[in-house]
Every structure is written in structure tokens, then in C-alpha cells.
A and B are shown apart, each in its own frame.
Chain A
Amino acid sequence: MIDRYRWWEYVLIYLGLGLLLVFVLAPFVEAFLVSLRPLDGLFSIPYRFVTEGMSFDAYFTMWKSVPLLWRYMLNSFFIAAAVTVLGLMAIIPASYAFSRFEFKGRNVMMGCFLAVNMVSGAVLIIPLYKVMQNLGLLNTYFAMIAPGVAFVIPTGIWLLRSYLMKIPPELEEAALVDGAGRLYTLVRVIIPVAMPGIMVVAITTFIAAYAQQFLYALTFNSVNELNPLPVGLYQFFGRQHVVWNELMAASLVGILPVLLLYVFLQKYIVAGLTAGAVKS
């Protein structure tokens, strides 16, 4: 009964939700409509939602105009996956250390990791650019992966540490009494038990790494074959004649995989994003 609303409260709630969804989804709807319009219909005045001759043609012709679209999508996935795997290799042992051991400098180190969140890639870009240039690493996947890894570590440690703290220590004590080594215990006892938590960290890391590939690729890479999706498509914007319908079609096709991923894994993603909001 506490959850019962009067009729005008229903109206207000749905009106508010409706406005919110219009704001959130309008760009996607617009992108879809643009992708369906023929180019001359696109530039019609006055503005209309539905124009004559709408078709899915752009979804076929775009593969010619953006010949590397597949490459860009694969590159984006590869870079985000590499950041996730490398990130986890640092995050898992570090959060295990922070959750289980008392050692000198523990709190200071945790604070330093969290402080990394205050720095952004753009601030460090000058020395990174110079060192990549000197080591001949410009125009490699490595240049686009490594900076990303450093910036996913702090949040990852923060998330996984609180998860590991909930696992009873008796579990690994039993393994240690049985004579298992400490590293063996981490790999064979802790990691399997912590799998749900690791999944949450892995998926949030992947989504973050996928969403933020623009700056490093724009700065460190000029080989088109290596470009991730955002920079691959960005080149088409500076042109004299932007083929908007094909570009919107390519953008939508490009984001489809990650949207599907979100729909299937949204429980994990929301859990990862909101971990700090819930008191434990």
C-alpha cells in the first residue's frame, strides 16, 4: 500500500520517465533515421522525421565508403580485451594483497592507487608521446593499450578488494594447512571462489576501456589499419562532404556489439558501477 500512487502521481511519473527517455534515446533514433535517408532527403528543409525514399541502402554502401569498418570494430574489441586481461593480471594479485595482508605502507599505497583516478591521460600525454616516439612505439597496438591499463587498475582494485574481504579466511587457511603454497592457494582456491566478483570487474573494465579509446588512438596512432572504431570514423568528419547517412549507419553497426553485450550482462555492469553507492 505504501507503493500505491494516485492517478496524477502515475501521470507525473510516466511523464518524467518519458521526457528522460526522449533525452537519452533521441540521438539514437535520429542516427537511425538519418541512416535510412537518401543523401538528398537528408538535406531537406524543413525538418521532417520521415522523408521519401527511406531505405537500408546506406547499410550496404557503407562497406565501400568505410572499407575498414570491420577492422575498426575488431581493433576496438581487441584493445579493450587486451586492457581487460592485462588489467586483471595486475588487479587480482594487488586486491588480494590489500584484502588479506597487514603490511607496512598498505594504506599509503591504497591511497596512491586511488589518487591515480584524479589524473587523466591527457595530462600525461606529452611524456608518453615522447617516450613512445623514442622507443618507436607510436603506431602500434601497444601504445593504445598500455595507458588504458594503468587507468583501469585503481577502480579494479577498489572493487575486487571489497569483494575478496567478504570471502571467509578459513577457506584459504584450510588450504594452507593442507600444505598448499600461498600462490597456489590464490590461484586454485581464491580465484575460483571470487569468480563472480572478478566477472564484475572484468566486464566494467572492458566497458570502460571500450568507451575511452579516442585520445590515445588519436594521439599515438596514425596507421589506419590499427585504428579503433571512434578514430576510424572520426576521419570522415573532417571531410568536405560528410556522407552522413553512411556514417550514422556505420556508427550504429559499430556500437551494436557493445549494446548487445550490455543487454545480456547488464546485471554485472550495474553491480560494478554502483558498488560504491551501497553500504556494506
Chain B
Amino acid sequence: MSQPSKPIDWFPYLLLVPAVVITLVIVAWPLAETLRLSFTDASMNPETHYVGLENYQKMFARNFPEVVGRTFAWMVIGVTLKMVVGLLAAVLLNAAVPGRTLMRILIMPPWIVPIAIGVFIWGWMYNGQFGMISGLGQRIGLLSGPFEFLAFKNSAFMATIVTDVWIGTPLVAVYLLAAMQSVPRDLYEAAWTDGASRFYRFRRITMPMIMPAMATMSLLSAIWTFNSFDIIWILTEGGPRNATTTMIIDTYKTAISRFRYGEGSARAVMIVIFLTIFSLLYFAMIRKLSKKGAM
């Protein structure tokens, strides 16, 4: 028996028109265009030709594998630090001690102020001659002389990560704090009556209950960190000697600073490929968690 076919209700589709149009124009079309440009020699020159895979071959022949490795190192170290510091901060802010409301307010500013402005201040702090970190380091004897943090490969790499951790940690902390606050209190009270220690309650109740939030946050944080531009661009522009050139910075330098749109597009396509793998992981994880009824 065939059901009488209902006429399609167009109303919900009409409601979606503004959002869909903006997304198509600003995201979907440029994405497709990036893919097309990656097979051309597009530049300032108005004439462009299709060059096949040449841009990709050139990219791999240069330092691309190195850039990918560096991007992942930057991301993994940054995200790990943000999650660890954020979790510790959430635990501390969740403790029932006087003044915690004020502390919860005071922790957010790095995330609230424009990213670039916070990074300007860090740029000054990393200054070897006059900055606070080098200055205090010398005072307490950690450094024997002025140390220009952004002038050396390893220290510049770590300095950009520290600034990224400074900006990203507040959000991780309040996010995990909200997850902790939503754990039903009677769970703790039952465990407490049974004589469970505070650490035991944290390990056996808090951690399992906030696991979904930890998973979501760490993946979101990974995507944001992967895409991070402002911090590195303002502090080092990818230097010294490419030590902080991540995939995003490499793409921007190639396309916008050197006007090699084609080669830049090939790099952007690689970013999309890596991010697609991320998003698939993300959705797979969400699905798995929601099946378990944890979310």
C-alpha cells in the first residue's frame, strides 16, 4: 500500500535560506575554488594555466613534510598543555573555598580580549633586553644574560606555544568546570559516606563523568590550534628560519605575501584534507559517546 504523498512543506527550507546562502558564498564556493586554483599557476599575472599536479610536486620537493611535522608538534604540545592546565584550573576553581567566584571571573580575560592585543603584550614580554621574562630570569639566576626568546629556533617555538596556552586555557577551564558542576552531587555524597577520599572521588566519579566534555574540548581545541594564525604571525611571522612556520603560516606566506595563489592553494587543500580527517574522527567519537548514552 502506498501512502498518499504529502506535499513538501517548503517553510523550513525557506527559514534556512539566509544561513545556507552565506555559507555557500563564503565557505563552500571558496573551498571548491581553492581546489581548482591548486591545479593552476595562478598569480598576480592575469593569465593562468592548468599545470596538473605541479604545485603539489613542488610543495613536497620543498620543505612540506617538515612543515607538517612541525604543525602537528605545535598542535599536540599546545593542546596537551591547554588540557592539563585547564583541567587543573577547573579542579581548583571547583573547590568550595572563599573567593572562587572572583577567581572564575579573573581567569577569562586572555580569551575575551582580541587575540592580537594579547599577543602584542607577549611580544614585549619575550623581548630579551627589557622584557619581563628575560629580566626576571636574570634576577633569579635562571639566565646568565639577556635572552631574546623569539630569536632562536627552539625558544621561539616554545614561546609561541606558551602564548597559545595562555589564550586557550581559560576556555578549557570554564568548559570543564561547567562539566564538573553538572555532575550530580549525590554521587559524591554517597561515596563520601562510604569513606572515599577526595582523590578517589575525583578519579572514580569526576573523571568518568567529565570524559565526554574532555573529548569534545580536546578535539575542538586541536582544530583551533591547527588553524591558529594570529599568534605566530604577530610574534615571529613563521621565523626564525621557519622554526614556527606551521601549515597555516606557510599557506599565507606563499599565497598572500608572495602572490603565488596556485602554490598557496595546494597547501590550503592539504590543510583541508588533514582537517577532514579530524572532523571524521570528531563525529565518530561523538557518535560512539552518544551511543553509550554518555552525552
Q: Size class of B's contact patch?
A: 35 or more
The answer to whether B272 has its CB under 8 Å from any CB of chain A is yes
Which residues of B from 1 to 53 have beta carbons under 8 Å from A?
8-9, 11-20, 22-23, 25-27, 29-31, 33-34, 37, 42
Q: How far is the CA of A255 from the CA of B117 in the complex (A)?
A: 8
The answer to whether A171 has its CB under 8 Å from any CB of chain B is no
With both chains docked as a complex, state the minimum distance between the C-beta of A93 and any C-beta of chain B, in angstroms: 4
Q: Which B residues touch A157, using CB under 8 A?
A: 19
The answer to whether B188 has its CB under 8 Å from any CB of chain A is yes
The answer to whether A120 has its CB under 8 Å from any CB of chain B is yes
Pair A233/B117 contact, Cβ less than 8 Å: yes
Q: Which A residues touch B37, using CB under 8 A?
A: 126-127
Nearest A residue (CB) for B293: A279
Instruction: Pick from A2, A23, A118, A120: contact of B279, CB below 8 A.
Output: A118
With both chains docked as a complex, state the minimum distance between the C-beta of A132 and any C-beta of chain B, in angstroms: 11
Pair A123/B97 contact, Cβ less than 8 Å: no
Which of A56-64, A95-103, A194-202 participates in binding chain B? A95-103
Q: Which B residues touch A27, using CB under 8 A?
A: 110, 118, 121-122, 125, 166
Instruction: Pick from B19, B176, B252: contact of A94, CB below 8 A.
Output: B19
Please judge, given known A-B contacts A21-B106, A214-B116, A266-B108, whether A126 and B255 are in contact too, CB under 8 Å. yes
With both chains docked as a complex, state the minimum distance between the C-beta of B62 and any C-beta of chain A, in angstroms: 18
Pair B96/A94 contact, Cβ less than 8 Å: no
Instruction: Pick from A124, A210, A215: contact of B31, CB below 8 A.
Output: A124
Pair B264/A47 contact, Cβ less than 8 Å: no
Q: How far is the CA of A39 from the CA of B229 in the complex (A)?
A: 31
Q: How far is the CA of A176 from the CA of B45 in the complex (A)?
A: 59
Q: How far is the CA of A30 from the CA of B133 in the complex (A)?
A: 10
Q: Which B residues touch A123, using CB under 8 A?
A: 31, 34, 227, 248, 251, 268, 271-272, 275
Pair B15/A211 contact, Cβ less than 8 Å: no
Which residues of A from 181 to 234 have beta carbons under 8 Å from B?
182, 186, 207, 210-215, 218-219, 229-231, 233-234
Could you give, for residues 118-137 of chain B, a 1 whenever the CB lies within 8 Å of some chain A CB and a 0 otherwise? 10111111000111101110
With both chains docked as a complex, state the minimum distance between the C-beta of A145 and any C-beta of chain B, in angstroms: 11
The tally of residues in A whose CB lies under 8 Å from a CB in B reads 104
Nearest B residue (CB) for A274: B178
Pair A113/B97 contact, Cβ less than 8 Å: no
Please judge, given known A-B contacts A248-B124, A266-B105, whether A97 and B16 are in contact too, CB under 8 Å. yes
The answer to whether B84 has its CB under 8 Å from any CB of chain A is no
Q: How far is the CA of A48 from the CA of B138 in the complex (A)?
A: 11
Q: Which B residues touch A101, using CB under 8 A?
A: 9, 11-12, 15
With both chains docked as a complex, state the minimum distance between the C-beta of A248 and any C-beta of chain B, in angstroms: 7
Could you give, for residues 14-27 of chain A, a 1 whenever the CB lies within 8 Å of some chain B CB and a 0 otherwise? 10110011011111
Q: Which A residues touch B175, using CB under 8 A?
A: 273-274, 276-277
The answer to whether B182 has its CB under 8 Å from any CB of chain A is yes
The answer to whether B213 has its CB under 8 Å from any CB of chain A is yes
Could you give, for residues 47-59 of chain A, a 1 whenever the CB lies within 8 Å of some chain B CB and a 0 otherwise? 1100000000000
Q: How far is the CA of A10 from the CA of B265 in the complex (A)?
A: 55
Q: How far is the CA of A229 from the CA of B276 in the complex (A)?
A: 33
With both chains docked as a complex, state the minimum distance between the C-beta of A107 and any C-beta of chain B, in angstroms: 11
The answer to whether B64 has its CB under 8 Å from any CB of chain A is no
Please judge, given known A-B contacts A27-B166, A46-B139, A123-B34, whether A94 and B279 are in contact too, CB under 8 Å. no
Q: Which B residues touch A43, using CB under 8 A?
A: 129-130
Pair A262/B22 contact, Cβ less than 8 Å: no
User: Which 6 pairs between the two chains have the least Cβ-Cβ distance?
Assistant: A47-B135, A230-B116, A274-B178, A150-B26, A120-B227, A101-B12
Which chain A residues have a beta carbon within 8 Å of chain B's beta carbons? 2-3, 5, 9-10, 13-14, 16-17, 20-21, 23-28, 30-31, 34, 42-48, 76, 86, 89-91, 93-94, 96-97, 100-101, 103-104, 106, 109, 111-113, 115-120, 122-131, 146-147, 149-151, 153, 157, 182, 186, 207, 210-215, 218-219, 229-231, 233-234, 237, 244, 247-248, 251, 254-255, 258-259, 262-263, 266, 269-270, 273-274, 276-279
A-B contacts besides A103-B12, A212-B114, A273-B175, 14 pairs, CB < 8 Å: A2-B188, A2-B189, A13-B92, A27-B166, A31-B121, A47-B130, A93-B15, A94-B20, A122-B251, A127-B29, A215-B229, A247-B120, A248-B121, A274-B177
Chain A to chain B contacts (Cβ below 8 Å), 23 pairs: A21-B103, A25-B109, A42-B130, A90-B18, A90-B22, A93-B16, A94-B18, A122-B248, A122-B251, A123-B248, A126-B255, A126-B264, A127-B33, A128-B30, A150-B23, A210-B114, A211-B114, A212-B230, A213-B116, A215-B229, A219-B256, A233-B116, A277-B178
